[in-house]
Each structure stands twice: as C-alpha cells, then as structure tokens.
Amino acid sequence: MRQNTEEYRGVFTFAQQVDGKLSSISLELIGKGKDLAADLNTEVTAVLLGSDVKGLVDELAEHGADKVIVVDDAKLKEYRTEPYTQALSAVINEFKPEIFIIGATAIGRDLGPRVSARVGTGLTADCTQLDIGDYPLVAVAGREQKHNQLLMTRPAFGGNTIATIACPENRPQMATVRPGVMQKKERVAGAKAEVIDFDAKLEENSKYVEILEIVKNAKTTEDIMAAKILVSGGRGVGSAENFKILKDLADALNATVSCSRAVVDAGWMPKDMQVGQTGKTVRPHLYFAIGISGAIQHLAGMEEGDIIIAINKDETAPIFSVADYGIVGDLNKIVPALTEKIKAELA
C-alpha cells in the first residue's frame, strides 16, 4: 500500500499505564521522542489509553510531552489486545504521526505489531537506538536517498551483529524500544501539555477477551533495573550457594544482586535477575561484574553503567575492555576481602 508520507507529522509515544500508574518506559520514550522531534522540528505527543486515567496527564507533560491524546474508555480499563489495538489504530488513522514508538514490554510487544499491521506499516522490534538520518545511509547511484528518516537499530542474529532498519515508504515509522535504554528528561514541575480527548468509538465484539479474574504475580525478586548498585555474578561464582559471598557484598553496599544468563541457565538465580540482551538492560551508578566473562550479549545490557568494576581470574576476559576498574584474581578470595574492607570503612 503506497501512502502519501508527507501527510504524516509528529513523534508519538505510547504512554503505557498499568493499574493507573505510568510505566517507567512511558517517560523514557518521551525523553527519546524529544530528541527525535528536535531533529525534525516537530512536537512529541503521548498517547494515553485507559479508564479514568486523566490524572496521569500532568506527569507526562512534566516529563516533556507537548500534547497528550487521551482515550478514556471503560473498555480499556485492563490491557486487552483487541480494544487497545482498535484504539491505537484509530488514533494513528486520525492524527497521522510520522513516528510511533512503543515500549518493548509484554504489553508493547503484543500491541505494537498488531497496530502496525492494522494501519499498514512496518515495525522494528526491540530497538536499542533510534536516530534521524538519511536512508540509504550513503547515496547510491540510481536510488533515491530519503532524508529525515527514522533509523532504528537493534541487535540481530543473536547479538552477533547490529542492524539499522528504516521504513521509507510507509507511515508511521514504528518501533518498540527496550525498557531501560533511553533516558528520561529531567522532570519540569508544573509543565503543561495540550490535552486532546479522543473517542475511538470502541465497540465490544467477538474478538474481545473477557477477563474473569486477574491473579497478580507475587513479587519474589527485586527490580534490578531500578538499582543504583548491582553486584552481578557469572558462571565463575561456581554454585547457587556461593552467591552468598556476593549477597554479603551487596548487603554491605545496600546493593542488589544480579547475574549473567549462564547463572540463570544453571538454575542458580531466577530469570528476573538476568542482565543482558535477553535479560534486562541496567544503568546503575556502580556495576560489579564478578566471574562474568563479558560476552557481547551480556555487555549489551550493562555497558551504559556509570562505573564498572570487573573481578575475574582471567586477565584476557573481554569484561576488562569495558571495565573502569579491573581486579585479576580468584573471586573467592577477593570478594570476601572487599566486603570486610567496605564494612570496616562504613562502620
């Protein structure tokens, strides 16, 4: 389907909320949206779907949204694929955004592809970087080079390569974005956005799922994405029991323990604690990588940390190439000694 791409304007972000609380990714998307909008000389519009959610508008504005489109409908109270797809597709068909970005959360991964198919465009999933630029990246004889395209970058082939993808013929250019990768803007208290109430004319139909009961997952683990200090262990820790020495270090620093995928695969730690491409992206002030080799898929989730300290017995381990401080030696000796020293200093 060939579109008149010129009709489409503005950067739109999906303002995901669950139980009337905005997800952190909603504010991260506005932060990135501001940068993209500045390059395109346009505005950022957050799209908020839900029931009785108007109270969230100010939080979106204070994080940088210029406009907020609100679809407030009782049918959108809990996330359900069909009404959310209908509502978001209706917003796109009415307002014609040039770019639409959605969090690569469980909700966003379900919603994004369906909406993109319904409005007849493409979607790049799980992006880690978004830029405005030319497509093709370099001019090729006999091929039109389009300017101001959304260049969507994501790991491909199991993280062995990085692909940059564009969507030059269709609008909106859609992407889902990994939580924790983009930066929120500083909150500006009292900032206001233009609010547009939109009636998506939702009608119950046979595709609507009926929710009989919601059973919340009991939260057994800490949120490693919110932690300021992470003490992360890899296969080199040796066993689930030996994670005790990392826990002692974490307790001394008021930190959280996380891990590599090898540790999850071995059944030593739950998946929620995994850092990396198929785990979580973290950005702590301080990241200890202990007995972690530094595979590219692990680095993808932690290299943006402010200070990285690596402890590994192999001085050629790739983790040392991203570490600010490196200690070569046996973690079984170094970690307890470090814990004692820190406890003594903080006592």
Candidates 274, 305, 320, 323: give the one binding ligand FAD (CB under 6 A).
274
CB of 243 to ligand FAD, least distance (A): 12
CB 103 within 8 A of CB 94: no
Residue 99 DSSP code: E
Q: Among residues 50, 276, 284, 305, which is the contact residue for ligand FAD, using CB under 6 A?
A: 276
Residue 279 lies near ligand FAD (rule: CB under 6 A)? yes
Instruction: Give the number of residues in contact with ligand FAD, rule: CB under 6 A.
Output: 30
Binding to ligand FAD by residue 242, rule CB under 6 A?
A: no
Q: Cβ 222 to ligand FAD, closest distance in Å? A: 18
Are 76 and 84 in contact by the 8 Å Cβ rule? The answer is yes
DSSP string across 102-171: EE-SHHHHHHHHHHHHHHT--EEEEESEEEEEEESSS-BTTBPPEEEEEEEEEEETTTTEEEEE---SSS
Q: Among 16, 85, 260, 339, indicate the residue that binds ligand FAD (CB under 6 A).
A: 260
**Piece in contact with ligand FAD (CB under 6 A), picked from 61-69, 90-98, 163-171, 296-304:** 296-304
- Range in contact with ligand FAD (rule: CB under 6 A) among 88-96, 100-108, 171-179, 289-297: 289-297
- Per CB under 6 A, the list member of 146, 162, 278, 336 interacting with ligand FAD is 278
> Which residues fall within 8 angstroms of residue 286, CB to CB, at 6 or more apart?
228, 229, 230, 253, 255, 305, 306, 307, 309
Interacting residue with ligand FAD among 314, 321, 340, 341 (CB under 6 A): 314
Q: Is 179 in the site for ligand FAD (CB under 6 A)?
A: no
Q: In the complex with ligand FAD, which residue's Cβ is closer, 157 or 346?
A: 157
User: Which of 113, 133, 159, 326: binder of ligand FAD (CB under 6 A)?
Assistant: 159
Which of these segments, 45-53, 207-215, 230-238, 239-247, binds ligand FAD (CB under 6 A)?
230-238
Contact (Cβ atoms closer than 8 angstroms) between residue 155 and residue 4: no
Distances (CA, A) of 345 to 68, 136, 285, 341: 49, 56, 20, 6
Taking CB under 6 A as the criterion, the residue among 50, 97, 122, 234 binding ligand FAD is 234
Cα separation, 276 vs 295, in Å, equals: 9
At residue 91, the 3 state secondary structure works out as helix
Q: Give the range of 46-54, 63-71, 222-230, 294-302 binding ligand FAD by CB under 6 A.
A: 294-302
Residues between 60 and 79 that touch ligand FAD (CB under 6 A): none
Q: How far is the CB of 46 from ligand FAD (least distance, A)?
A: 29
Tell me how crowded residue 108 is: count the other CB atoms within 10 A of its CB: 22
Residue (of 321, 327, 322) closest to 302 by Cα position: 322
Contacts of 218 (CB under 8 A, 6+ apart): none
Q: Contact between 245 and ligand FAD (CB under 6 A)?
A: no
Strand 307-312, strand 286-290: pairing: parallel
User: Which one of 33, 236, 284, 305 is in contact with ligand FAD (CB under 6 A)?
Assistant: 236
Q: 237-259 b/e with 16+ CB inside 10 Å = b? A: bbeeebbebbebbbebbebbbbb
246 binds ligand FAD (CB under 6 A): no
Point out which residues bind ligand FAD (CB under 6 A): 158-159, 234-236, 260-263, 274-279, 291-293, 295, 297-298, 301, 311-314, 317, 330-332
